[in-house]
Amino acid sequence: MTFRGSPRVLAVQNSEGSGIGRLLPWWEGMGLRVEVVSGAATPATSKGFDAVVLLGGGFLPDDDRRAPWLPTERELTRRAVAGGVPLLGICLGAQVLAAVAGGTVRGDHGRPERGSCPVSLRRAAGTDPLFAGLPRELRFIQNHRDQITELPPGAVRLADSEDCPVQAFRVGERAWGVQFHPEAGADRLDRWDEAALADAGLDLRALRAEAERAEPQSARHAKRLAANFADVVRRTAGESSGGVVDAHHDLLSDEPSSV
């Protein structure tokens, strides 16, 4: 039996400024169908979808007063993890995953990370499907002041940085959280508030220049991560249908064979 449809991905956008970015055209080019919904339209289950993506936002995962849809998003996350549905949480999304699974998230903790920042893969990432084919040292856009300070029981820590010990982790076999932003390129900084950054002692022009220098390699690595997640989604959809997903796309057709 062969599953002929394209796997469907539900992406939850928690704030206007934290969209799905370059992941949308990449995943569509990889044969996935992506539906982006606002936080207020978040369903409580992933029924009808083959994967879930939780995007970022400028609040904590239990800030129900500012984001009243968060209880539903947490329920969606809980059910996806319990059902083995592939899930990728980004920034706030990673913190939602951590909190739902029994971890701890603290606001205004540690040193904020802004702009293009280094991320180091840990040994466990060497056999992890999301990070297959990636080098140990990476750079991604970051923009956070909150951190996951304690991982859920049984979670696997996959990446860290000097300023943020939990940059990536996995819960179970198919749920990942990443504190960094693979969906964001250097152009994301064009929308940042120069005056607010200056008040924090940061130079937006310098942050932009650093991000632009890192962009070519950062984009390649982000696309590899996106392709790895798409592989998991297709494989899981194929298993649940009793066959394999019919894919006609070269996942990294415009990239070298290795990164």
The active-site residue, picked from 73, 144, 181, 221, is 181
190 Cβ contact list (under 8 Å, min separation 6): 208
Query: Which has the closest alpha carbon to 173: 155, 148, 149?
Result: 155
Looking up tokens 């466990």 gives 124
Residue 69's φ and ψ, nearest 5 degrees, are -85, -5
Say which of 113, 117, 144, 183 is annotated catalytic. Answer: 183
Of the residues 91, 117, 144, 221, which is catalytic?
A: 91
Residues 6+ apart with CB under 8 A from 259: 133, 134, 135, 220, 221, 224
Terminal C-alpha separation, the chain = 34
Distance CA 221, CA 216 (A): 9
Place of tokens 């909150």: 146
- Tokens representing 65? 């007063």
For residue 161, which of 210, 120, 215, 100 has the smallest C-alpha distance? 120
Query: Is 183 considered catalytic here?
Result: yes
Active site residue 91: yes
* CA–CA gap between residue 220 and residue 63 (Å, rounded): 34
Phi-psi region of 48 (alpha: psi -120 to 50; beta: other; left: phi over 0): left
Q: Is 181 annotated in the active site?
A: yes
HSE-CB for 166 with a 13 A CA cutoff: 28
Name which of 93, 51, 70 is nearest 237 in CA terms: 51
Active site residues: 91, 181, 183
